[in-house]
Amino acid sequence: QLQASGGGLVLAGGSLRLSCAASGRTFSGYVMGWFRQAPGKEREFVAGTVWSGGSTSYANSVKGRFTISRDSAKNTVYLQMNSLKPEDTAVYYCAATPGFLVQTTAHYSYWGQGTQVTVSS
């Protein structure tokens, strides 16, 4: 139901745009989130938005560099990542849940498969 894509290998300072295509159900009224998990580390919140538009939330580590957006017509949520750093290297996941916009991993009910982002120095 959630298909993430757009990962790849990029040099530090570069940009990538991740996409999360939603299918099989309507996510109107849902919260959409991006998370990431680096090797040996716990999965962490990156960014989130309300599907109907308006509120967004970002982890402090990505504020000012990453932007979450959605295209309702395409049923897709994006994560534009600029000024990438080696510490951004991780598997990135999109997720969805009904309710409020929160940063807690356990709060999210639906998960897509991950897409690998590797930033080389």
* HEC secondary structure over 61-102: CCCCCEEEEEEHHHCEEEEEECCCCHHHCEEEEEEEEECCCC
38 pLDDT more than 80 = yes
* Amino acid 54: pLDDT: 75
Q: Which tokens sit at 61?
A: 């580590």
List Cα–Cα distances, 50 to 9, 62, 97, in angstroms: 29, 18, 10
Q: Which of the four pLDDT bands, split at 50, 70 and 90, describes residue 28?
A: confident
**53 pLDDT exceeds 80?**
no
Mean pLDDT along residues 34-54: 93
For range 13-38, the mean pLDDT = 93
What pLDDT was estimated at residue 72?
A: 87
Mean pLDDT of 12-28: 92
Determine the pLDDT at residue 61: 97
Residues 60-105 pLDDT 10s: 999 999 999 999 889 999 999 999 999 999 999 999 999 888 899 9
Contact 84, 15 (CB under 8 A): yes
